Structure 1
């Protein structure tokens, strides 16, 4: 059975100002992430504006990522569909395009009950031999893959991991109590990574790693080594920016962080619009404060 661990950034799809996909910028960002030590790459997550892309654009992104990665780390693709038939078809297509795993959303068009949720994931798990990470984000999608639902899915060998994004860190322990080590548990929100790893999570699907891969990998590695004191020092510097990962406008906010940190394009696709006014100023101030504090921390260490 496949086991994933480490930092798997949810990669933003880079766009030009007219909304067209910039594949070269996307590939460059993937290379930057891998050069800074991430353990996997996830394209077409929510941060990748999955629901806003056409089918041929999704294919282009997966194939470009496959080329950029060149076998260095696993390539996962987000899979977000409305119908079971559409999700099954996409799972098969994405495998053909080069994806080596899937991060599967619940149905985007209908809030399934627990029985329907289990059947949704069973159908997709049977569509290909790709390993699957369940994307559990009930805050955004209204569907909770609870420990009880996971128990129903425990006999599906291709379902190997859960991106835990309920916002309640206690869920990590609840999953271990109910299921032991059956699923790899990934923290799915940036501002709970230290807490989640202290409870046994072994992976992190991260948004702000797009901007700060070196620092995020460092936090993860410190926690994995049990050095939580050092991890907390860095975590406290980065948490104000990590909080931006949990806002409804996380796509705009994280792309802004990438833009300010290393010059990546900030553009999103409508209906998402560029940040303006007080909101833009506030987000920029938060990010620039983190940039400055990281510089100060680095200077103190070098002294």
Structure 2
């Protein structure tokens, strides 16, 4: 059975100023992530503006990611659809494009009840041979894969991982009590990673790793090695920026942060617009404060 562990950034899709997919910039950012020590990548997540991409664009992004990664780490694709028919069809397509796993959203068009949620994930699991990470974010999507729901999915071998993003830190332990190590459990929100690691998560789907991959990999490693005093010190530097990962405008925020830190394009696709005014100033100030604090930390360590 597939066992994913480590830091899996939810990769932003780089765009040009006029909204076209910039494949070369996307490949460059993915290569930077892999060279920085991440354990896997996830293209076309919500952060990657999945829902705004047509199928030709999605194919180009997946194939480009597989090409640049070149087997160094697993390449997963987000799968975000409204109907089960489309979800099953696209699961097969993404497999044919070279994806090695799927991060599967609930239906984007309807808040399924528990029975419907089970049928949704079972149906998608039956459509391809790819291992599946369940994207569990009831705050954003109104559907919760609770322990009771997972009890009806525990015998589906393709479902191997849960991205836990309920915001309720108790859920991590509840899943371990119910299922042992049947599922890999990933923290799905940046500003809960140290707390989640203390409870035993095996991985982290991270937005801000796009910005600071070396530091985020280090943070995860410190926690995995029970070096929590050092982890807390780094976490306190990064947490104000990590809070940006939980905002409705996380795409704009993280892309702006990438631009500030290493020059990546910040452009998004409408209806998302570039940040302006006090909101932009707040994000810039937050990121620049972290840049300065990290530089001071590195100087002290040198």
2:152 match = 152
Distance (whole Å) between structure 2 residues aligned to residue 184 and residue 149 of structure 1: 16
- The 3-state SS of whatever aligns with 1:153 is coil
| Partner residue in 2 for 1:42 | 42
Question: What SS class does the counterpart of residue 72 from structure 1 fall into?
Answer: coil
Shift, 1:29, TM fit? 0.3
1:188 aligns with 2:218: no
Map 1:85-96; keep pairs closer than 5 Å.
85-96=85-96
Instruction: Give yes or no for the alignment of 1:292 onto 2:287.
Output: no
- Count of equivalent residues: 302
Q: Distance in 1 between matches of 2:168 and 2:287?
A: 25
Q: Which secondary structure state, in structure 2, belongs to the residue aligned with residue 178 of structure 1?
A: helix
For residue 118 of structure 1, report the CA deviation from its aligned partner.
0.5
Gapped regions of structure 1 (runs ≥ 5): none
2:20 maps to 20
Deviation at 1:204, TM superposition (A): 0.2
**Aligned counterpart, 1:197:** 197
**1:107 alignment partner, SS class:** coil
Specify the alignment match of 2:238 in structure 1.
Answer: 238
Partner of 2:105: 105
Q: 1: distance between equivalents of 2:65 and 2:170?
A: 34
Taking the aligned partners of 1:174 and 1:287, their CA distance within structure 2 comes to 35
Partner of 2:228: 228
Question: 2:65 — aligned with what?
Answer: 65
- State how far apart, in whole Å, the 1-side matches of 2:265 and 2:77 are: 21
Residue matched to 1:248: 248
Q: Name 2:117's counterpart in structure 1.
A: 117
Q: Give, in angstroms, the shift of residue 197 of structure 1.
A: 0.6
Q: Which digits, 9 at most, give the CA deviation of each residue in 1:9-61, with x for residues without a partner?
A: 00000000100000000000000000000000100000100000011100000
- Deviation of the 1:178 alpha carbon: 1.3
* Superimposed CA distance per residue, residues 135-167 of structure 1 (whole angstroms, 9 cap, x where no aligned partner): 000010000000110110000001000000001
CA distance in structure 2 between the aligned counterparts of 1:169 and 1:51, rounded to whole angstroms: 28
Matched with 1:32 is 32
CA distance in structure 2 between the aligned counterparts of 1:117 and 1:205, rounded to whole angstroms: 22
Report deviation, 1:301: 1.1
Q: Counterparts of 2:3 and 2:100 in 1: how far apart (Å)?
A: 12
Residue in 2 that maps onto 1:51: 51
Q: TM-score, normalised by structure 2?
A: 1.00
Aligned partners of 2:219, 2:75: CA distance in 1, in Å?
22
Describe the superposition over 1:79-128 as per-residue Cα deviations: whole angstroms up to 9, x where unpaired.
00000000000000000000000000000000000100000000000101
RMSD, aligned α-carbons: 0.5
Matches within 5 A, 1:172-183: 172-183=172-183
CA distance in 2, matches of 1:99, 1:292: 37
Shift of 1:300: 1.0
Q: Distance in 1 between matches of 2:294 and 2:48?
A: 26
Measure the CA separation in 1 of the matches of 2:181 and 2:276: 45
Structure 1: distance between partners of 2:157 and 2:41: 22
Aligned-partner Cα distance in 1 for 2:118–2:16: 38
Following TM superposition, the consecutive aligned residue runs of length 4 or more in structure 1 with deviations greater than 3 angstroms are none
Runs of at least 5 residues in structure 2 that lack an aligned partner in the other structure: none
1:78 paired with 2:81, answer no
- Structure 1 CA distance, aligned partners of 2:150 and 2:69? 31
Question: How far apart, CA to CA, are the structure 1 residues paired with 2:96 and 2:299?
Answer: 47
